[in-house]
Amino acid sequence: MVKLIAIALTLCCIPQLCRGQDWLESNSNETEDANLYLEQLEQLKQHPMDLNTCSSEDLLQLPFLTHNGIESIIRHRSEFGDYIDVLELQRCDLSKEDIQLLLPYVYIRNGPTTSPISKYNHSIIATVHRQTPNKAGFAEERRYKGSPIRSILRYRGRITHNITVRYTGEKDMGEPFAFNGKQKGFDYHSLNLQVNQVAGFDKVILGDYSCDFGQGLTVGSGMRMGKSVLTMNSIKPSFGIKPYSSLNEYQFNRGMAFTGRKKKMHYAIWLHRKRVDGNIVHTDVGPLLSSYHITGFHRTDLEIEDRKTVLNKQAGLHLQRNFKDLQLGFTAVGFAQSMAYTPTTKAYQRFNFRGSRYLKTGISYRYSRNNTLFFGETTICSNNSLGNIHGILMSATKHFGASILYRSFSKRFIPDQSVVFSEASTPRNETGLYFGSNYAVSYRLNLSFYVDRYWFPWMSYHSHTASNGTDYLVYVKYRSSKKLSWTVRLKHEVKQQTLPLDAYMRRLVDVQSSILRFNVLHDPSKTFGLRCRLEMSRVNEGNRITKGHLVYQDFRFTLLRSRLKVYLRFASANIDTYDNRIYTYENDVAYSYSLPFFQDNQLRSYLLVRYRLYANTDVWIKTAFDHKTESKGFGSGLDSVSSPRRTGVTFQIRIRL
């Protein structure tokens, strides 16, 4: 293993959008939302923003841009007039890397260069995935009712300049593809129609859509802003109401939505009605909802029985007034469902919301002054619980910036539809203070740092009493040349958890976890690239120390005048326990990304090929192979694979017309 590591460290690696990739890796539990994020970026590439008409809200959709960079783009336009050429971006407070990342998403209408807007108005994407050997659910008396093939069909169409249509259909592995009274072909269907500038409205959406306003505390959607090497990205972009086209079968609205403006007031109104999956318990007082099923799986008899058992209804309103340097927003959403939600009576869930309806109202703001941005949102729920998130982004100079974020969510706060910066997966029972900074010492050297201190006033899943923790990260990036760069990332966290002493006693201890990552990137030519990573994990849990390490090597080839692209990876890991697991980002087919984690003594390799058959037709093929040197399988329960070897194959074709 030492020899393998030494050889790997002498190699270099593929130069991808490593900043965005690191952000995705830090949000490893947001897979479906990350797919939506990638699809949004792909749509922006197909229909980029005009630099002379885009707003700061539009630019906030690009996570690699800082507040100072966005303000400099808008300020340059107001001071010197419309952009004539994208080369003017060099006069803004943007690094060369920021400009290179930005160029695919912006253009100048009637500019000197050809407009990058896609000439294709329709695209059809078909994806099929198969894994061998089969999971246990296919062998145990056919617990899974469908085939082991996962299939996805997407359609994106622009009917006219102001009418667009989106459709998504999916069948997960184990789900049947059937036509009966409850199912029409695919297990999951999503369809929406968007019409712009009609009947006095700026936008009308019928079908599936998502809502996101302010900091996402009252109503939020998309990816939750988390802690990553992008230490200045503590503010959440607010995209308002957008058509929904992700594969997440739970977190979206279905109905109709309208946006418009009246003088200086912008408004959004939405109505929602949709059935969701839930486990129904029949009691003397009537049926009660004990839990939601958010996985979207309908493979077994029990999962099919719980399908679409609860009717959800929602109505919402958002008002926004923009001043010169100030933006104020008011959001109200009312929710009702067909039966009362009654979660389990575990002690840490004592203050969780119970009932069949609630109301949330919130006030959000953004105030910009010089190189400082103040932002935040306060939300109050109908059960008198309160949530707060407030932050400051400061750009002292072109090279140094800092971010401060305070959050406080009461133990009774209703986290449903809240997608916001937090340590826990849901914003409830938490108080925290985050400080992050970024210092571009020079073109070659960049330093990032953050520290996050958080408290849980009431007991949580991992603690039988109040607890706290502290999270640190240091990130260093050094460019040896235009083609070679090195990165080092150290993440250390200390948090309190309950550990059993014996059968009757338990105690609260500090659990320390550290992850050290070395990354080397090299791009010797436009047709060939290399990437190498060494990552080590260490966990100290009550004086019990466990370790893990991972090393991998990536290769990238671009051949046949860019018609053929090949990505290849070889990875090896030795992980002691599940707590030491290490996540790694992988290239995947279009509109998707893969973030597997390594466990035990595991080898993994994958090959991804993209080939452009014709000008309007692309094909992707990905093959991934896993092998454990010990006689251990993968997964657990019905999703487990007893064999130490596992192979997955994905095929995708995209046709644009």
pLDDT in tens, 558-601: 998 889 999 999 999 999 999 999 999 898 998 887 888 898 89
Helix%, strand%, coil% for the chain, nearest 5? 15, 50, 35
> How many Å apart are CA 591 and CA 154, to the nearest integer?
10
pLDDT (0 to 100) of residue 36 = 54
Q: Strands of 457-587 (E only): list them.
A: 467-479, 484-500, 506-525, 528-541, 544-559, 564-575, 582-583
16 versus 429: the higher-pLDDT residue is: 429
| pLDDT for 4 beyond 70 | no
pLDDT (0 to 100) of residue 30 = 42
| pLDDT for 3 beyond 80 | no
pLDDT (0 to 100) of residue 195 = 95
Q: What angle do CA 368, 58, 113 make, to 5 degrees?
A: 120
**Which DSSP symbol is given to 103?**
G
Confidence of residue 269 (pLDDT cuts 50, 70, 90): very high
What three-state secondary structure class fits 603?
Answer: strand
pLDDT (0 to 100) of residue 109 = 79
pLDDT (0 to 100) of residue 365 = 95
The first and second tokens of residue 249, run together, are 């079968």
pLDDT (0 to 100) of residue 27 = 42
pLDDT (0 to 100) of residue 434 = 96
Closest CA to 231 of 405, 373, 377: 405
pLDDT (0 to 100) of residue 14 = 32
Distances (CA, A) of 260 to 18, 164, 192, 219, 314: 37, 18, 19, 18, 20
| pLDDT for 47 beyond 60 | yes
Closest CA to 152 of 518, 649, 651: 651
Give percent above pLDDT 70 in the chain: 91
pLDDT (0 to 100) of residue 155 = 95
> How many Å apart are CA 253 and CA 273, to the nearest integer?
7
Contact in structure between 601 and 609 (CB atoms under 8 Å): no
85 versus 607: the higher-pLDDT residue is: 607
**Which DSSP symbol is given to 560?**
T
Residue 413 has a CB neighbour count (10 Å cut-off) of 27
The first and second tokens of residue 495, run together, are 């948090």
Q: Any idea how long the chain is? A: 657
pLDDT (0 to 100) of residue 325 = 86
- 515-560 pLDDT, tens digit per residue, is 999 999 998 988 999 999 999 999 998 788 999 999 999 999 999 8
539 versus 115: the higher-pLDDT residue is: 539
The first and second tokens of residue 646, run together, are 């596992």
**CATH architecture for segment(s) 48-107:** Orthogonal Bundle (1.10)
Mean pLDDT, rounded, for 196-208: 93
Confidence of residue 108 (pLDDT cuts 50, 70, 90): confident
Q: What is the pTM of this model?
A: 0.86
345 versus 463: the higher-pLDDT residue is: 463
> How many Å apart are CA 39 and CA 35, to the nearest integer?
6
> How many Å apart are CA 259 and CA 57, to the nearest integer?
15
| pLDDT for 342 beyond 80 | yes
| pLDDT for 111 beyond 70 | no
Mean pLDDT, rounded, for 280-294: 82
The conformational region for residue 475 under phi > 0 = left, psi -120 to 50 = alpha, else beta, is beta
| Weakest-pLDDT range from 17-21, 392-396, 498-502, 568-572 | 17-21
Mean pLDDT, rounded, for 28-44: 55
> How many Å apart are CA 466 and CA 540, to the nearest integer?
21
pLDDT (0 to 100) of residue 26 = 43
pLDDT (0 to 100) of residue 29 = 37
| pLDDT for 406 beyond 50 | yes
Domain ranges of the chain: 1-26+435-585, 48-107
pLDDT (0 to 100) of residue 10 = 35
- 616-651 pLDDT, tens digit per residue, is 999 999 999 999 988 888 888 888 888 999 999 999
pLDDT (0 to 100) of residue 55 = 80
| pLDDT for 270 beyond 50 | yes
pLDDT (0 to 100) of residue 118 = 64
User: Average pLDDT over the chain, rounded to whole?
Assistant: 86
What three-state secondary structure class fits 235?
Answer: coil
3 versus 436: the higher-pLDDT residue is: 436
- 346-359 pLDDT, tens digit per residue, is 888 888 888 899 99
| Weakest-pLDDT range from 86-100, 168-182, 246-260, 325-339 | 86-100
Contact in structure between 172 and 129 (CB atoms under 8 Å): no
Closest CA to 405 of 368, 454, 438: 454
Strand partners, 208: 254
